[in-house]
Every structure is written in C-alpha cells, then in structure tokens.
Structure 1
Amino acid sequence: MAAPSRRSVKLSKGERKLLRKQVKAQHLLLKHDGIATVSGPTQHLVIANGGLGNGVSRQQLLEVLQVFGTVEILLMSPNKPYALATFSTIQEARGAHNGLNGQVLKTDGSTQPITLYVNFVEKVVSEEISPLSLPPGLLVIEEVISPEYEKRLLAFADGSTDTKENVQRSLKHRRVKHYGYEFCYDNNNIDKDKPLPGGLPEICDEILEQSMEKGYVKFKPDQLTINQYEPGQGIPPHIDTHSPFEDGIICLSLGAETVMDFRHPAGHSVPVMLPRRSLLVMTGESRYLWSHGITPRKFDVVPASEMQKTGTISGDVSNLTLNKRGTRTSFTFRKVRKKPCDCAYPEVCDSQIGCKYTDPSPSVPTTDGDASELEHKYVHDVYDEIAGHFSNTRHTPWPKVVEFLKTLPDGALVADVGCGNGKYLGVNKDLFMIGCDRSKNLVDICREKKFEVFICDGLLVPLRSGICDACISIAVVHHFSTEERRLSAVKEIVRLLRLGGKGLIYVWAMEQEHNKVKSKYLMERKGKPVQSQANCAKVQTGNECSCINQDANKMDLTCFEQLPDIIKDATDKQNSAKLPVHTNRTSFDSQDLLVPWHLKGVKGHHKADGTSALQPEVKEHAVYHRFYHVFSNGELENLCRSISNIRIVQSYYDQGNWCVIIEKC
C-alpha cells in the first residue's frame, strides 16, 4: 500500500516541530560534511547529534541503537557531531529511525542533554585506515614502574613538606612544582646560575637509574617539573626551548591516562596515548622539531578496543570512543645544557638563529584600547620594520584588482586605503589615484615612485566625505583586531565614496582550499607536504600558547537546539585566549592569530630607478609577528550587509581571499 501523502496526514504541533528539526539536520549535514540523506528507507542511518563531538561514546550510542536490532557497522569520527550506522535489515533501521527521532540523550561528555535526529542515507562505507607512525625519536614504554611506586610518587607530589623554593604554583592550565632549577615561563628558560637548593628528590632515583640503565637518557637529569592536570586542563602546544636542556627528555605519567598531540611544522599531527605508569621519551626530531601539547578537555577520543592502549590513535572511525579523563600527574625530567645547542634543526633552534621574536603571546583584545595597542605593536610597528623586504615581495598586482581598476571611467578619483608599496597606484594611468597607509616607511617607498600618498590610519582617513568615485582596500581590513573596528574600517571606505561609487575589499580567507583547489598560499610550499593542522596553530620554539581547542569552533552541528549557546561559549573562550602563532604555508585553524614574517639579512628595497634604498642591515634572522583576523566564508558579506547605505554588487573567492565589490546607494 502506498504511503499517505503529507497533505492527507494532520501532524500535531510537536510532530511538526520534530519534522522541522529533522529537515534542518539534513541541510546542515549536507552543507558542512557533504552527507546526502534519502527519503526512502534503507539499512543505513545518520544520527545527528549522536557523535563523539557531542560527548556521546560508542558504548552509549550502541546501547540505544541495539534496542532496534543488530548493528553491523557504527562509524564515529573524531570531533564530528554525528554517527553513521548500518543495521542488518531495512526493517530494523526503520524502527531506529522512527524510535530515536527526537529522543533526548544525557551524556557524561556534554553539559546539557542532546536531542537525536535520524535520517536515512544511501550507504555507509568503512574505509581502511593506515596506522600512524610515532614521530622519529619518540618512545612510549608501558608499565615502567609498579603501582606501589606510583602511589609513593603521587603522595610525594601531593605532599606539603616542600621547601619554600619548591612550593606548588597554580598556572592557568595546571599546578606545577620545580626541582633542581626553576623554569621561568616569562622567557621559557632557566637561570643556570641559580640552582634550587636540594637538587632532585631522592624518591626519583629509582626511575632515573632505570632510565639511565635502559638508555632512555644519556645523562642523569638534574631538573624536574611536576605538573598536575585536573580533567579539562591541559598544556598548549610548544617545543621545549633548545638552549636550556640537552637532548633526551623523559616524562612519567601517573594517576590517569591522557592523549598528547604531536605536530610537525608542516602541519600534520599525531595523537599519542600515554597510559598510566608509562614513560614518554623524546629524543632527536621529536624533541627538537615537533611541538607537543595536551588539549584542555574532559574526554579523549581513544580506540574502543581493549587491545590498543598505547601508541598512536588512528582515524579508524569504526574503533573510536570517548574516554573520561582523571587527575593526571606528570614527572618531567631534563638535563641542563652547558653549551649552546647545535642540533640539526636550526630553523627552530634559539641557540642557532638568534631570532628576535616580538612577544608571541598577546591576548585577544576585549576593549577598543587593547585592540589599538595590539594593532600598533603587531601591525603598524611590524610593517615599518619589514617595509623594505615586504616591498620586494609585493611587485605583481593581482589580476582581478587590476580588472576592477580598468573598468572605472577615465579621470575617476580613486583612493587606495592601505596602499602598502603602491603596486596598484599606477596600473591605470587614466585614473587619478591617491594612496594612504599607516606605515611611514611604506609611504616613503610610494613617494620614491612619485605617487600621491600620505600617512593615516584606516579608521580615520583625512579626506572629505563622498569625493571618491571608487575605493580599494586590499588585504587591510583583516589587520583590525575586533569586529567593531573591522566594521568601522569598511564604513570609512563607504564614507569616502560618492553615491553610486564602488569599493573593492579583499581579506584573507580562513578557507585556503576552495572547490577542491588549494590557494596559492598553500601551493607555494615548494614540494613540501600540505596538511591541515589540528586544534591550535601554535608551533614556536619555547613559547607557550593558551589558545582554546579550535575543534569546538568547527562543530556547527554540535547540538541543533543549543547551537546559539555553543557559538557564544566558543566566542567567550576565544576572547579570553592568547593568540596562536600560525605555521606559514599551512591551513588556518584559528581566525585570530599571529602570522610570522621572516627577515633574513635584508639590506633595503629597490627604488623606482633601480637603485637600492638602504635601511639598517639586519644581520640576524629576525621574525616578526603580524596580527590577522582571517575571514570565514560569508563573514565579509555579513559585515557589509550591516551597513545600510551600500549594496553588494559581487562577492567572490580569489586565491585565498574573500572579496566583495560594494556600491554606495
């Protein structure tokens, strides 16, 4: 018998609401993950809000699914807010579809109950996942000490008999004690001339002698850091500073297991399981080149199989579940270095490159004053420092910007707000173009080229309102550090335009791959592998970053009913976080970040006549950090739509940039 049409069935108010939520789930799944649902029943289901990203464990989901029949396949991807399941028969799947839609599920991994929405899909495919390899030089040794020795070490860590110098301190992410030498988090170093009295505690002799005997370390460590992590706490990704410590760092995990993430500068990461009473050994590349950190969260994604308790955690979505964290205490032992580091990784070695880093850990601004100060230090000052080198790398105008300028009528007055070295000021000789920039040194370069330019802030351009036929702002608005200031920058461009005048705005896009094509920014890695980073973008020698787990910002489907609260919560966390430092030529994983500019022995820039304009020679490899807010898809259009007297003529993506053409009306 044919199913009754929707017109012939009168639904209750609750049923209509459930249907709307189910349809919304279909649209979001298709939009964000490319999962297409089907109307007719199949053996295969997608369960929205039933994923690891929502705090639903494999065991918990299996319990509610198996009520309706035999589950042959259950796929749960890390951080995803949905799961895919296959039943033995269509009848069983239909029962789950009808019985689970709208069902409220309480989870240990979520602060609020979640509602499941179930749809049919054509098929569920379980792919073969190649196991990940540990970073070179990394070892995890299980059951390295006895449970009795573990109890004594934990009692010592919790004890209150320490000297004044070793008293426990509370950091934002954990509690910490130091022995032998105090580690200074202000400069990520130690004072080798000021050892702490007492040296390392005698209770550690057993594990140190064992590590020496097994060859895990070459020298007996003389510095100890004890960290205690409560569930939900972690440590940001970092590389232990090279200059203070020798090769060979060992870390003993006590009290609870956890997952530590290792990430290569190229962007690929390896999650590593650290069981209770295991010893982590970092030597060579894993110690000097890879960053390591523990994401602050209360649950880890781990293999569901009891067989795999250590090593790397693969992306095998047929064997993943959630593991609730406990209180973990770590004993990290190091050997203080007496000579400068001469490792094989000079690009990240503070002993070898002598990098002059600007402070890489400012916080996301919360006030206009903080924002202004941040931009002054991490935008204005930086561009003045790198002006010559920057100009040498900015010589080819982007074709679509040139196309916009070529379409303007002869004699049009055009303002280039944030003109940089003026590469667009001379592309159309039939226009009257004036440029402005906040950087005095870049403006000086423009003046050498005989352009009409002046110095000003993009938020306050000293020109009369409504005098420009067109304005361009190329790669400028993303340097403003709050949404209010970015909106003000666009409003200032609009103010300059006459009625009917057009503006062109370019900003960096967070999406560095569009329509399956990598941007030029990623393509220019000269053959190096390009893989997206996970969580924080921070990879920096010896510097600590406090940015939040960015996965939460990507889970648009986390809970269909609680989405506004989740977005607000993620925003509140990001506002209180420190800015991560981006790894160049990799995908962006945070919208607000610092992007390094490497300056190597630059002596000057070339004048228009081909001669060189000298600036003080940079003898060292200097690294400067520029603030960026990279725009997500649709964000620039939404910013423009909030301005009442303009319309969007065109919006497009151009080699890693989101772009709009606006018209004043």
Structure 2
Amino acid sequence: MEISGINQQSQKLSKKEKKLRQKQMKVRHTLLRHEGIECVSYPTKSLVIANGGLGNGVSRCQVLKLAERCGLVEALLMPPNKPYSFLKYEMLEDSKRAYDSLNGEDVASEDNTQNVVLYFNFVEKVPWEDMTPSTLPPGLRVIEEVVSPEEEGQLLECIDWGKDEVIPNAQKSLKHRRVKHFGYEFQYDNNNVDRDRPLPGGLPDICNTLLAKWLKMGYIKESSDQLTINQYEPGQGIPPHIDTHSAFEDEIISLSLGAGIVMDFKHPDGQAAAVMLPQRSLLVMSGESRYLWTHGITPRKFDIVQASQEQKLGTVTADIGDLTLNKRGTRTSFTFRKVRRGPCKCSYPSVCDSQCKVTAPSFPDSESEASKLEKEYVHDVYEQIAQHFSSTRHSPWPRVVEFLRALPRGAIVADVGCGNGKYLGVSKDMYVFGCDRSEALVNICGEKKFQAFVCDALSVPIRSGSCDACISIAVIHHFSTAERRLATLSELVRLLRPGGRALVYVWALEQEYNKQKSKYLKGKRAGNSNMDETISNAIEEAGDSESQDSAQPDGGVSPPKDRYCSANEAVSTRLPVHTNRTSFDSQDLLVPWHLKDGTKKKMGHTKLCQPVTSSENSQKCSPVFHRYYHVFCEGELELLCKRLNCVNVQESYYDQGNWCVILEKK
C-alpha cells in the first residue's frame, strides 16, 4: 500500500510538472509574438519572468526577495507598464536553480488585490539599452522644489473645498474629482473658456505672488490669468488630452502639491514618455509638448518610479532602470494658463484648431452624397494608410477566434472587410476567404498567401447560400446611413446557407460599460491579469478602436429617427472630429489617423523620464487622415438586424468597446 501511494504521488507530481511546462511554452510563444522576446531552451545567466512585472503590480522588492533565494543577482530590469521583468545571476548554476525551483511560484501583487503565477524562461538577449535615461518631450521642463513646504501649506489652506464646483458635462472619470476655477471657468465639454465671462476676484493673491517670482527667475515667460485646481485621490486620473490651441497661450504650467504623480505623454507617432512630477515641482509645457503631445494621468493607486536607496538594498550589483512601484497619495494640482486673445499661430497647423484647413463634410442627405462621403473619408483613406494600418493589426481578437474555431471542419467562411487578413489564417480546418474595398490591404493579404479579392461589402460577387459562416469585423460602422448599414447586413445574410451564422462587430458609443472602460479609453498598457491574458490583451490593438490620435469634438449630428440613444444633438450638420482616447460625443464623426513616416520604427518600452531640460522644439508633424464612423449605441445593432426577416439573433454582447451580434439565417 505504501509503495502504491508513492507511485501515485510520483504520477501527480509529473502531471503537475507537465502542466507547468505547457504553461511555460505558451508564455514563450506569447512573449515572442507580442514583444519580440526570444526564449531559449538551454541554460543562460539571464531569465525573463512572465507575470513578474510592474504592469502586474509586482514590485522590485518582491522580485529581488524571491530571486535572491537562489543566488547572487547581478542585474534586474523591470520595464515600465510591462507584465514581465528580466533577471541576471552572477553564476549560471544560480540561474538554473531559479528556473527549476521558482517556476510556478504564486506571488501577491503589491496592493494585495490578486495573486499572479510567475513563469521563468532562459533568454540570451536582454534589452538593457532600452532602459537608458530618456529626455523629456521637446518643450517640457520639470523644476523641482519650486515652493517651500511652508508655501505648500499656505497654498493648500487657501482652497475652500466647502464650495466644491460641479464639473458640467463631465465624463465619469471626472465626476468624483474635486475642482475649483479662478479667473475663468474651464469648460470640460470643449477644453475652452468663455472669454466674455471672467470670474470675479481673479487669482488668489498667493498665486499672483508666486507667478511674479517664477517670472523673475525665468521659470515662465508670462503670467497667467486662469487657474484650475484639481485634487486627485489615489486611483483617480485624467484622460489624455491637448489643451485647445486657440484657447490658451503657449505655456501651460502645473504645480504638484501634497504628493507626486507620474504624468503620461504621447506623441501622434506612438512615442510615449512617463514623466515623474515630484511633490512641490512645477511642470512647464510649451512648444511641441504643449501643442502636439497628449498628456494625462492613468487612474491607478501605484505609480512606476525610480527606486530609492532603501528600495535598492540587496545583492544587485548592476541595477538597470532602478524602477519600482510607489503608492500614490492625495495630490492637488494648480494648473495655470493665460487666455489667448487671438488665433493660434503655432508650428503644428495640421492639429491646430486655428489653422487646420480640414473642412468637415456635412452629414449625407442622399445615397449619392453617402457614397461620395465614404469614398473620400473611408476608401481613399485606407488606400493611403494601408501599410501603417496593417502594422498595428497583429493579433486576432479571442471571441472572433472562438466563433471561427467552433465551426465544423471543412466550413466555408467569408471574411467581408478582411483588412490585412488577420483572421484568414486562424484555422487550417476550414476554407476562409476574404474581401475588402481596399486594394492595398488585399495586396497585403496576398503577400501572406491568403485568398482575398477586392469588392464592396454592399455587393459581394459570391453565389447566394454558398457560405457556412461570415464575419464582418469593424466594417459596417464605416457606412454613413442606416439604409446602407442595413443593406450590408442583408448582403452578409445572402451569402449564408440556411442555418449558417454571421458574426458582426461595430464600434460602440459606450466606451465605458458595466463599470469597465474599454482599452480605447485606457490606451495600450499592461493590465493586472496573469500572463496568459495580460500580454495578449495589452499588446494587441484594442478592439480595432485604436484610432492613433485625433482632435477635439466640436459638435454632433442629430441622429436619424430610428436611433433612440442619447448621443448629443448638435446645432450644426457638420461632422465633428473626435478626440483620441476620449468618450464619443456624437454617433457620426470623423476619426483622425496620424500616419507614421515611411521608416518602420521599433517601438521600445515606455520610458520614465528624468526632470531635465529638453532639446529644441521639433516642427515635424505627421500627416493626418480622417475616417468616417457611425458608432452604435446599446441595442442599435441588434435592432438593425431584427429588421431582416430571414435571421434570428442568437447572441448580442459587448466586447472591449464594440457591440457584437451573432446571427443565424432561417
């Protein structure tokens, strides 16, 4: 009996080890596919730790404490916002010991909200060079200890929070934040002020004294006449935005009191910089950093910061990056601006509301106008951005893959609006062909050896009833009238045999649903889930709704009679232009795409910038193209489908900023 028990225990251990190795292999594939990190099957001194990253809420101290069980650590690299880290031991034997004994280790995140399982793999190449100190965006300065602790106390005491102001038309992320305005009220619905309605009293006297001091010391170039005070509790933030060019002069300055914070800056071409704003520091934005880069604060309770001397304790002999997690405190920001009295004449006309030459088209009133709008603001645009667009579309979305893999072996599937063909190779057990209006995107499919052809989704040259299934992913929202959207759905159903199914995805008006923000609002960053989901979800483009960057909405379009959701109705028939990473204010709009230059850039990790003076302003600006979208409100897609008599709606669901339906042909 005793021998039998030992054998059973041995079998259990081998099964556990086998499962662990399978997880490791899955992680290796994910790291290579999404991050370009190549793991090796032979022992090396360097290891990549999946799930053991700052993006998972795992701190530097936690990783070191665990790693030092196995030997002397030579270097530890923890890239910001990534769900993995790199570890290098002084001895190969120690590295092998960590691989054998630490794989599958369960670790609690720093805030104790979840446990993560760590997976170790050997690597030869580690991107140590990517962690070299990064300069600030051009035109950005951070001046530390600009006020004394006594002045900080006086500034905080001068705020009468007993008369909290309510933010009109605020997004949900702003509603619980304390805010006060002086000089002029900042209007959150259009990022502007009413110049004809100054607030009584002007700025507080202590602020005017400090502004005069900073002007004399050369920190700023001009004084301010508008002040917004915000108080951020841990976990609160502000969406990425650019202060409207025509509203304020060149300099925007922000004083951080009570606690420090990391502010995220992003360039239209994808460059990102995380800038640490220490307590009592002054941020000065001008030039490119003010006019071209978005700035925002990610809602979270921990920031990624430079490790203090106490946090560096251990056997590490060559700290690389020195980054760790820091718990946020209550921060109060004093943001000063000077109201502009004339048009903006900055060096970035393509994104300047004073100089932008783009005349937004009107909402189409006829079939011919709709066709013309779609040609200019959909078809022609995708022809010009095809290569760049394709470079941002790598990973199939899990629920689309799930739909395809549930189909029977040998099924015939049409991907109508296939783009670069990322779903055409999902399964070899079925015949999948694609079609798209863009010849340039179809050519990319051909380069991948996929079967695809050029056609309009309104008229697909395939025999009726010849397909077992169809998919239409992020396509129908490009049609500019309800009639044309319905006709596209009808064409999908025509291709299906009786009993055949279609999956349809469209952008959702509701980018925050069931208390969860879509990745479009949050931007691309690693989440707090285990490695199996973290990298694949964080790296892949969010719901085809990453529009790269865009401008501020300034109006809306009255929805047709069959729309019943509460999109803002506008006083103008012009299509508004949407702001990147913000909620949609209108159902019909133009979404800008900032085209990168022809050279393919390797996107490295977001770097934490040090407070140093930046270089001269760059005046280069990416070309901007505008795509037409109709974003669907809850229930609208399902209602549109039910207007077709020959289908049953099997399922309707929300998936990361998209409304989705599965139809079955009767």
- Interval of TM-score (by shorter of Structure 1 and Structure 2): 0.5 to 0.7
Residue type matched to 2:173 in 1?
K
2:28 matched to which residue of 1? 29
2:212 corresponds, among 206, 209, 213, to: 209
2:592 corresponds, among 596, 602, 622, to: 596
Asked whether the 8 Å contact 2:525–2:539 carries over to 1, the reply is: no
1:60 matched to which residue of 2? 62
Higher relative contact order, chain-length normalized (CA < 8 Å, sep 6+):
2
Structure 2 counterpart SS, 1:246: strand
1:583 matched to which residue of 2? 549
**Are positions 1:495 and 2:494 aligned together?**
yes
**Structure 1 pair 476/74, CA: closer, same or farther in 2 (3 Å)?**
same
Asked whether the 8 Å contact 1:417–1:472 carries over to 2, the reply is: no
Structure 2 counterpart SS, 1:203: helix
1:547 corresponds, among 497, 509, 521, to: 521
Structure 2 counterpart SS, 1:353: coil
Asked whether the 8 Å contact 1:249–1:287 carries over to 2, the reply is: yes
Structure 2 counterpart SS, 1:143: coil
Matches within 5 A, 1:173-572: 173=174, 174-304=177-307, 318-353=321-356, 355=358, 384-385=372-373, 387=375, 465-466=464-465, 476=475, 479=478, 492-493=491-492, 495-496=494-495, 547-552=521-526, 558-560=529-531, 563=533
Shift of 1:134: 1.9
Asked whether the 8 Å contact 1:418–1:474 carries over to 2, the reply is: no
Distance 1:126 1:194 in 2: 54
**Structure 1 pair 46/145, CA: closer, same or farther in 2 (3 Å)?**
same
1:150 matched to which residue of 2? 152
Shift of 1:468: 10
Distance 1:9 1:292 in 2: 58
**Structure 1 pair 180/559, CA: closer, same or farther in 2 (3 Å)?**
same
Shift of 1:229: 1.6
Structure 2 counterpart SS, 1:188: coil
Asked whether the 8 Å contact 2:152–2:280 carries over to 1, the reply is: yes
Distance 1:194 1:107 in 2: 49
2:113 corresponds, among 111, 114, 117, to: 111
Shift of 1:474: 11
**Structure 1 pair 90/591, CA: closer, same or farther in 2 (3 Å)?**
farther
Distance 1:356 1:78 in 2: 40
Residue type matched to 2:243 in 1?
D
Asked whether the 8 Å contact 2:378–2:478 carries over to 1, the reply is: no
Shift of 1:329: 1.1
Structure 2 counterpart SS, 1:93: helix
2:426 matched to which residue of 1? none
Asked whether the 8 Å contact 1:179–1:224 carries over to 2, the reply is: yes
What TM-score do the two structures reach when normalised by structure 1?
Answer: 0.58
**Structure 1 pair 354/569, CA: closer, same or farther in 2 (3 Å)?**
closer
Shift of 1:292: 1.5
Distance 1:391 1:29 in 2: 38
Distance 2:463 2:221 in 1: 71
Deviations 1:620-652 (CA, angstroms, capped at 9, x unpaired):
x998543399xxxxxxxxxxxxxxxxxxxxxxx
Further displaced range: 71-80 or 178-187: 71-80
Distance 1:86 1:245 in 2: 49
Shift of 1:299: 2.1
Further displaced range: 277-286 or 168-177: 168-177
Shift of 1:221: 0.9
Distance 1:206 1:221 in 2: 11
Distance 1:153 1:591 in 2: 31
Asked whether the 8 Å contact 2:263–2:296 carries over to 1, the reply is: yes
Residue type matched to 1:183 in 2?
F
Further displaced range: 141-150 or 226-235: 226-235
Query: Percent same amino acid at aligned positions?
Result: 48
Distance 2:323 2:93 in 1: 27
Residue type matched to 1:352 in 2?
Q
What TM-score do the two structures reach when normalised by structure 2?
Answer: 0.58
Distance 1:306 1:358 in 2: 58
Deviations 1:343-376 (CA, angstroms, capped at 9, x unpaired):
22221211222655699xxxxxxxxxxxxxxx99
Shift of 1:334: 0.7
**Structure 1 pair 417/234, CA: closer, same or farther in 2 (3 Å)?**
same
Q: Structure 2: which 5+ runs fail to align?
A: 1-6, 312-318, 387-416, 422-433, 443-452, 512-518, 551-579, 585-589, 595-622, 632-664
Distance 1:418 1:157 in 2: 58
Structure 1 counterpart SS, 2:265: strand
Matches within 5 A, 1:7-86: 11-13=10-12, 16-33=15-32, 34-37=36-39, 41-86=43-88
1:613 matched to which residue of 2? none
Structure 1 counterpart SS, 2:158: helix
**Structure 1 pair 300/341, CA: closer, same or farther in 2 (3 Å)?**
same
Shift of 1:255: 1.3
Asked whether the 8 Å contact 2:522–2:581 carries over to 1, the reply is: no
**Structure 1 pair 150/597, CA: closer, same or farther in 2 (3 Å)?**
closer
Residue type matched to 1:351 in 2?
S
Larger Rg: 1
1:644 matched to which residue of 2? none
Asked whether the 8 Å contact 2:173–2:237 carries over to 1, the reply is: no
**Structure 1 pair 488/436, CA: closer, same or farther in 2 (3 Å)?**
closer
Shift of 1:240: 0.7
**Structure 1 pair 486/147, CA: closer, same or farther in 2 (3 Å)?**
farther
Shift of 1:19: 3.8
Shift of 1:185: 1.5
Residue type matched to 2:222 in 1?
F
1:601 matched to which residue of 2? none
Structure 1 counterpart SS, 2:129: coil
Deviations 1:217-240 (CA, angstroms, capped at 9, x unpaired):
333211001112222222222111
Asked whether the 8 Å contact 2:39–2:124 carries over to 1, the reply is: yes
Distance 1:420 1:122 in 2: 41
1:132 corresponds, among 134, 137, 159, to: 134
Structure 2 counterpart SS, 1:266: coil
Distance 1:149 1:380 in 2: 65
Distance 1:125 1:597 in 2: 30
Residue type matched to 1:385 in 2?
L
Aligned length: 479
Distance 2:44 2:77 in 1: 17
Asked whether the 8 Å contact 2:239–2:582 carries over to 1, the reply is: no
Structure 2 counterpart SS, 1:139: strand
Residue type matched to 2:19 in 1?
R
Matches within 5 A, 1:602-617: none
Distance 2:169 2:464 in 1: 60
**Structure 1 pair 488/13, CA: closer, same or farther in 2 (3 Å)?**
farther
1:616 matched to which residue of 2? none
Distance 1:23 1:244 in 2: 57
Distance 2:455 2:289 in 1: 48
Shift of 1:498: 7.2
